[in-house]
Structure 1
């Protein structure tokens, strides 16, 4: 029987100083009980399965919801009997960790998180393009996979606004409907959004605004918006986590994080807003890393991650994104909360790939380097 435990990053060079913890899924019996349906359930080639089992273990870096990450790793262990260790960190921290590994990563795969950082790692040659998962044929659109064949989409998340209905009523103000509304003086000190320095969600916001308004006008807009921002959270989910309690009145972030607060934590006082000009969106992805110690296990993970066996665990574990695999059942919560995954802008992933780091530097310079106490970094 598989157990889920916590342990430190012992034996993983360079990680101890970061203070990260590691979780592990392992099979305690001397002869692992591997589900015989695993191969047919995921559709992986038997030779790949055997080679992965020969490697014996897999280390997963995750930037999706931690409950989903843990469930996905546990199920992979149940299917194939490999020992699976994992760690959840933000997408920007994940990108930095992989970049600092210089092609000798402590992890085998990256799972979850928006694809803008994946594209930057792809440019740096740090993602493995040597294997095309058979299950990538089930991706619904070419936008959900890398042009270099080194990352593959697993979900789509809509960017929008969330608000506390009780506080909006108490303050006698309307909820924002689109981006121009957010710079209105009536929202001064009421808005939370993630930190451009630490969050992939914040960088999606940055790219979205620049693409909608133009480069210079976009930066000017975000400088105006800053005057209404009460808190820049370290992670993209930070605003949603504080809306229901009323600590945050208006949050900018992924709407599926708001859905999770409503569905799982009972905060029915949360309102969800798709901007009237259309929602921007992330493509959450997975990739095998260059230089991994367990390449076959990493490739087997890609097959698994692109199957219903994996992606349908998301909604069962508090992650309500739209799935981008045609063999998977969509979470019912998407339609329940009237979130149309097709009501989106034409997000320019190529511009984001080429210019995000420059844009982050520019907006942080405009905001004084993020030195005031509103910017959470830890």
Structure 2
């Protein structure tokens, strides 16, 4: 979709053209922003003049596989709304929205971890909005002040190359990853830019005891010792796994299913016996959004039962809505027990930055013997 005025053309120079024909280098929950993406803090998007198309600017950590279902249907229902999307990891969205607080450039945040969205809410970066489906979302998966709602559930599991390992040969639980037999068989997507990986690593620290993160750091040191490489982005992660330069990773279940079932990668998963961090991937309206009416329309559309059921069937997305019929879900989803790790997400949100900074500065790549 074309940019409608010169101010936007200037601001968007060198970035993705806001179009449904998107070039995507990100994955669900953990994509990397294009290096050319960047707004000028002094330049402000102007509201559409009367009679001109409405605009909706979305910052997203979601994948092209989702866009190609949702956006054309939204455009069909609302042909007068021009949508522009900018892709980056969930943590990068938080940092960008925070930096633009005085002059918001986005209207809608699509694809954020519970930790990132909770942090944004507490910093006054999200606009309260109670959608029509509010009572269909469990309290566990939404903000009590309606500043964000979980769109889907993302179990974080152990991923492996099924051509290199049989399922019973793969790690069956988190602590199994530390077994010396898996040394140099593990590849990890770079942690800091990825909401998915930050959640997994923070959960690994929490489960050792949140009041004594040193135990969690020791656990991560042992994992680091078994880790062959940290890849720059999901694309590189997939290449390493395909080439068997590493055969085990940690990733979200939805993307594993998409990559294996639709993109023909030789991937399978183990749901950890002790339980998994179930990341709530959510949305929110940016505080001070210039196109808030369009943002609310997209909010309601995205959570509609029709779209939720279609994304479950075609993109293996676990819906957060409780009123989606099981008949509308794929077979593997009906039979899989989503056993969660017991985590205090408020503690996770408050400690994640500190924990991840320590990991990055003191553990990453430093544990090889």
- Normalized against structure 1, the TM-score is what? 0.79
Shift in Å, 1:186: 1.4
Shift in Å, 1:14: 6.1
Shift in Å, 1:149: 1.2
Shift in Å, 1:12: 6.7
Q: Where does 1:279-358 land on structure 2 (aligned, <5 Å)? A: 279-315=276-312, 319-329=315-325, 330-332=328-330, 334-335=332-333, 339-341=336-338, 343-358=339-354
Structure 1: unaligned runs, 5 residues or longer: 27-51, 373-378
Structure 2: unaligned runs, 5 residues or longer: 22-49
Q: Could you give the per-residue CA deviations for residues 78-105 of structure 1, whole angstroms, max 9, x where no partner exists? A: 1122111112221122112111112422
Shift in Å, 1:157: 0.8
1:260 aligns to what? 258
Q: Could you give the per-residue CA deviations for residues 218-264 of structure 1, whole angstroms, max 9, x where no partner exists? A: 11100111011122234467645653453430011112211112210
Give the distance between the partners of 2:51 and 2:306, measured in 1 at CA: 19
- C-alpha contact (below 8 Å) 2:185/2:247 kept by paired residues: yes
Q: Could you give the per-residue CA deviations for residues 278-328 of structure 1, whole angstroms, max 9, x where no partner exists? A: 1111101011001111111112222122212333342465x3121111333
2:186 aligns to what? 191
**Structure 2 vs 1, CA of residues 199 and 315 (structure 1 numbering), >3 Å: closer, same or farther?**
same
**Structure 2 vs 1, CA of residues 303 and 53 (structure 1 numbering), >3 Å: closer, same or farther?**
farther
Matched, 1:177 2:177: no
Matched, 1:136 2:134: yes
Matched, 1:156 2:179: no
2:358 counterpart (359, 362, 371): 362
Q: Give every structure 1 segment of 4 or more consecutive aligned residues whose post-TM-superposition deviation is greater than 4 Å.
A: 4-7, 12-16, 52-55, 235-238
Q: Where does 1:93-242 land on structure 2 (aligned, <5 Å)? A: 93-129=92-128, 131-139=129-137, 141-168=138-165, 174-214=169-209, 215-235=213-233, 239=237, 242=240
Give the distance between the partners of 1:210 and 1:137, measured in 2 at CA: 33
Secondary structure at the aligned position of 1:155 is classed as strand
**Structure 2 vs 1, CA of residues 174 and 10 (structure 1 numbering), >3 Å: closer, same or farther?**
farther
**Structure 2 vs 1, CA of residues 10 and 89 (structure 1 numbering), >3 Å: closer, same or farther?**
farther
Q: Could you give the per-residue CA deviations for residues 184-240 of structure 1, whole angstroms, max 9, x where no partner exists? A: 221111112222221111111122111211221111100111011122234467645
Give the distance between the partners of 1:138 and 1:53, measured in 2 at CA: 36
- C-alpha contact (below 8 Å) 2:110/2:284 kept by paired residues: yes
**Structure 2 vs 1, CA of residues 351 and 97 (structure 1 numbering), >3 Å: closer, same or farther?**
same
- C-alpha contact (below 8 Å) 1:12/1:106 kept by paired residues: no
Give the distance between the partners of 1:109 and 1:247, measured in 2 at CA: 38
- C-alpha contact (below 8 Å) 1:199/1:234 kept by paired residues: no
- C-alpha contact (below 8 Å) 1:162/1:272 kept by paired residues: yes
Shift in Å, 1:68: 0.5
Give the distance between the partners of 2:250 and 2:162, measured in 1 at CA: 15
How many residue pairs match? The answer is 333
- C-alpha contact (below 8 Å) 1:155/1:322 kept by paired residues: yes
- C-alpha contact (below 8 Å) 1:157/1:283 kept by paired residues: yes
Secondary structure at the aligned position of 1:11 is classed as helix
Secondary structure at the aligned position of 1:220 is classed as helix
